[in-house]
Amino acid sequence: MQQMNQQANGSMPQPPTMISSKDFLYLTDMMSWNLNVVKKAHALAEKCQIPEIKQAIEQTEKMHQKHYNQLLNFTKSQTN
């Protein structure tokens, strides 16, 4: 019953132990999106001359790099 309630409200405390090939493809898409943001934020931060804005862009870059690494580690653990 608790599992049904979690699925109904969209939350899942842990990822499933096995993911489908469709889910794996979605995860690789998410990795690609995050890596793209990392690259664009890095390039933008290098050109930015306003310290406050540069710091915000660098924080965004770090956040997306963290998300990318989490997804990468998860997908590696699923393929091993």
CA distance linking residue 74 with residue 8, whole number of Å: 24
pLDDT reported for residue 1: 44
pTM of the model: 0.74
Structural domain spans, the chain? 20-79
Q: Are the C-beta atoms of 1 and 31 separated by less than 8 Å?
A: no
pLDDT tens digits, the chain, 80 residues: what are they?
A: 445 455 567 777 876 677 888 988 999 999 999 999 999 999 999 999 999 999 999 999 999 999 999 999 988 888 76
pLDDT reported for residue 7: 55
pLDDT reported for residue 38: 98
Query: Positive or negative, the Cα torsion across 4, 16, 36, 25?
Result: negative
